[in-house]
Amino acid sequence: MKVDEILHSITKKFKKTIYKRFIHAVDQYQLIQEGDKIAVCISGGKDSFLLAKCMEVLKIHWNVDFDVEYICMDPGYLPKNRKLIEENAKKLGIDLKIFTSPIFGIVNEIDKSPCYLCARMRRGYLYEFAQSLGCNKIALGHHFDDAIDTTLLSMFYGGQFKTMMPKLKSTSHKGMELIRPLYMVREEDIIHWVKYNNLKFLNCACAVVQKVNEGMMSSKRKEIKQLIKTLKNSIPAVDNNIFKSLHSVCLDTVIGYKKGENMHTFLEDY
């Protein structure tokens, strides 16, 4: 499809499932303010490229004046993977600024929690490059499924109730914020958009994910996705209910919670 047809598909065929949910998240979580300059971070995958096009539509129609830069970090991609990103940016009409970092080389030598380290390092490099362009926010392509998966991962493997926030302030880069405008968009609808427009995007191209895809390692996130899929057979609304619970924590029935670095229990006010 042509660039304008791909763009129009978001507000026409996928208006209800993608664009309205995108707008709802931007509005409800107050993700964009007048005068913002936002770096939309493109990893090469379907989510971030869709986010780029949604932000393009929003800039045209939103009643708030803001600027956008489209950036991509090459953490050590194979030439064929970087080429795919560049080709997709051209196909989608995105003026992409690409910069490099040594992340893959570092993370591939780590055995314990390589994905966590990779995410932390990526964010730092993205903040720095965005700041160099005069941006005060970075936008990532995490969606509805990422939000509920992350919460269950935290509960099952970390023993804590922690959510993936729709926005947060950087603690390492003063004046910078991270926003997630696709927070209410479901992954299945993003996949439908990709197939409808006959697009092909890059999956995470690091050695760790390649081993997971080849069956050499297990993925906890993959296990969580399968669990939710299984539960939906008997509880069709289970994913919706998990998402709603992120917004409906009843503090009167919470036994303990952490605020900053301090732990508190219900006994303090019993």
Query: In this prediction, what percent of the chain has a pLDDT beyond 70?
Result: 90
In b/e form, how buried is each residue of 140-175, taking b as 16+ CB within 10 angstroms?
A: bbbbbbbbbbbbbbeeeeeeeeeebbbbeebeebee
Encoded amino acid at 93, one letter: G
Alpha helices (runs of H) in 32-94, residue ranges in sequence order: 46-61, 79-91
pLDDT reading at 205 higher than 90: no
Average pLDDT over residues 132-154: 97
- pLDDT at 113 (0 to 100): 61
Cα–Cα nearest to 144, from 47, 219, 236: 47
Give the tens place of pLDDT for each residue, 239-254: 999 999 999 999 999 9
Classify 257 as helix, strand or coil: strand
Give the tens place of pLDDT for each residue, 63-84: 999 999 999 999 888 899 999 9
Give the residue with greater pLDDT, 108 vs 33.
33
Domain ranges of the chain: 3-203
Give the tens place of pLDDT for each residue, 77-125: 889 999 999 999 999 999 999 999 988 877 766 666 666 677 778 888 9
- pLDDT at 78 (0 to 100): 87
- pLDDT at 220 (0 to 100): 87
Both tokens of residue 225?
């996705």
- pLDDT at 105 (0 to 100): 75
Nearest 5 degrees, angle CA 3-CA 101-CA 97?
25
Alpha helices (runs of H) in 94-181, residue ranges in sequence order: 103-107, 114-132, 144-158
| C-alpha to C-alpha distance for 87 and 201, rounded to whole angstroms | 10
| Residues forming beta bridges with residue 167, ordered by sequence position | 179
CATH architecture of 3-203: 3-Layer(aba) Sandwich (3.40)
